[in-house]
A = this chain, B = another copy of it.
Amino acid sequence: MDDLKVNKRLIMTPGPVSVDPRVSQAMSNSILGQFDYEFVDIMNKTMELIRKSFLTDNQWSFPIDGTSRAGLEAVIASIVKPGDTVLVPIIGRFGYLFTELVKRAGGIVHNIQKPMGEVFEQAEIIEALDTVKPKVLAIVHGETSTGRLQPIDQLGHACKERGIYSVVDAVATYQGMIIPVDEWELDAVIGGAQKCLSIPSGITPITFNDRFSEEINKRKRVELGIRSNESTEQDHFIRSNYLDLTQLQDYWSPKRLNHHTESTTSIYALYTGLKIALTEGIEARAARHAYHQEGLKQALKALGLEIFGDETNEMKMVICVNIPDGADDSKFREGLLKNYGIEIAGSFGELQGKIWRIGIMGYAIEKQNILTFLSIFSLYLAHQGVQNLNPEKAIDTLLAYYA
């Protein structure tokens, strides 16, 4: 068995993406015990950074020790009890994931759906809230499978007025655009690590408000021996221990009740990644993502490619292009990776083989990398036999954009 040797990559997918060396360095700090006073201090500071990152005053802003999917499941499994109704609008693959998670929790899902590449008008969703009258609205903010940004700024308020809990999957948009959780009156929001925040996968920042906390705490499982009536609680307690937000509240609060053994290095990564992001500034960081996305998009059009979907509802951290005639999806991506160490993504379901998704996420997104990517991508496409491309015009366009 060889020593670990990893070759250089320029990852231009919607995650996982490259990590800032300052994050890697932070992760090599000494392990601390989870009740070490220094670690408790870092936990507290990390919560404060998470609050700032979500523009919220929510006390309950802490990470889940697992990948984004664990964060989504923790929120859904805690708020949805068997028989609860959940409205899940679907514009792509991650709406299906919410659907799956609700069904696992025993909830009843009502889906509304748009063709791949479109988003909902918020009025359509609010109308569905009035028809379905769900307990929970679970909605994806940035649907990376189609590159669409679902507008959600009015949904939190609409839910609150109706006594519905809003749950937002902001895994792909977190730290790549501004998500003002309090201003938008969202009840629970799940961010992501390995996308625009650009730290390693394995930890997931979430936030939820007191209204959400009160509701999930009705299901709090009192420890053995204290519980008065097991039979009535049997149907209602949260099915997971590891992803039980009410237990995690006791861990991520002055109570510090022992739960799991917090992943020290992931906390170091999260702390440092958030500090880097907030030092750059959420607005500046959002502007950086949008700036490079726009430049590369213009250049890809100049190259001769077609952009997939309506640009009025596109995510600013992904570019979706139609795969041009003459290029084979898998063969092209494999060649790009094996020859140049550059990775782009295909898509899922009905879009598989039809579009490529180019991620514009986090640390690696700066002029030199984007220009390098465009040069290699353009010429390798031409090499693969795609006709009517104009690589020189593409580069002229991007250099002019940056000038």
Q: How far is the CA of A258 from the CA of B237 in the complex (A)?
A: 30
Q: Mark A190-230, 1 if CB is under 8 A from B, else 0.
A: 00001000001111000000000000000001001000000
> Are A260 and B18 touching (Cβ within 8 A)?
no
Q: Check A7/B30 contact, CB under 8 A, given A16-B264, A265-B200.
A: yes
* Interface of chain A residues 262 through 316 with chain B (CB within 8 A): 262-266, 268-269, 271-272, 275, 278
Whether, in the assembled complex, A232 has its beta carbon less than 8 Å from a beta carbon of chain B, the answer is no
A contacts with B, residue count (CB < 8 A): 85
Query: In the complex, what residue of chain B is closest to A100 when comparing beta carbons?
Result: B241
> Are B31 and A272 touching (Cβ within 8 A)?
no
> Are B70 and A200 touching (Cβ within 8 A)?
no
Q: Check A45/B1 contact, CB under 8 A, given A36-B9, A337-B36.
A: yes
Binds B, one of A21-29, A126-134, A368-376: A21-29
Please indicate the chain B residues that have their CB under 8 angstroms from the CB of A334 in the complex: 37
Whether, in the assembled complex, A324 has its beta carbon less than 8 Å from a beta carbon of chain B, the answer is no
> Are A263 and B201 touching (Cβ within 8 A)?
yes
* Interface of chain A residues 15 through 48 with chain B (CB within 8 A): 15-19, 21, 24-34, 36-38, 42, 45, 48
Please indicate the chain B residues that have their CB under 8 angstroms from the CB of A9 in the complex: 30-33, 36
Q: How far is the CA of A287 from the CA of B260 in the complex (A)?
A: 29
Please indicate the chain B residues that have their CB under 8 angstroms from the CB of A401 in the complex: none
* Interface of chain A residues 230 through 276 with chain B (CB within 8 A): 234, 237-243, 258-266, 268-269, 271-272, 275
Q: Check A69/B242 contact, CB under 8 A, given A32-B6, A37-B338, A224-B100.
A: yes
Please indicate the chain B residues that have their CB under 8 angstroms from the CB of A8 in the complex: 30
Whether, in the assembled complex, A13 has its beta carbon less than 8 Å from a beta carbon of chain B, the answer is yes
Please indicate the chain B residues that have their CB under 8 angstroms from the CB of A143 in the complex: none
Q: Check A38/B7 contact, CB under 8 A, given A69-B260, A260-B68.
A: yes
Please indicate the chain B residues that have their CB under 8 angstroms from the CB of A237 in the complex: 104
> Are B4 and A18 touching (Cβ within 8 A)?
no
Main secondary structure of the interface of A (DSSP, over half): loop
Whether, in the assembled complex, A167 has its beta carbon less than 8 Å from a beta carbon of chain B, the answer is no
Please indicate the chain B residues that have their CB under 8 angstroms from the CB of A18 in the complex: 30-31
Whether, in the assembled complex, A99 has its beta carbon less than 8 Å from a beta carbon of chain B, the answer is yes
> Are A343 and B36 touching (Cβ within 8 A)?
yes
Contact of A194 among B31, B240, B272 (CB under 8 A): B31
Q: Which A residues are within 8 Å of any B CB, using their own CB?
A: 1, 3-4, 6-9, 11, 13, 15-19, 21, 24-34, 36-38, 42, 45, 48-49, 65-70, 73, 77, 96, 99-101, 103-106, 194, 200-203, 221, 224, 234, 237-243, 258-266, 268-269, 271-272, 275, 278, 334, 337-338, 343, 345, 348
Q: List 22 A-B contacts (CB under 8 A).
A: A1-B45, A1-B278, A4-B29, A7-B38, A11-B33, A15-B261, A16-B33, A17-B31, A18-B31, A19-B30, A19-B31, A21-B28, A65-B202, A66-B242, A67-B242, A69-B242, A70-B242, A77-B240, A99-B224, A104-B238, A104-B240, A201-B264
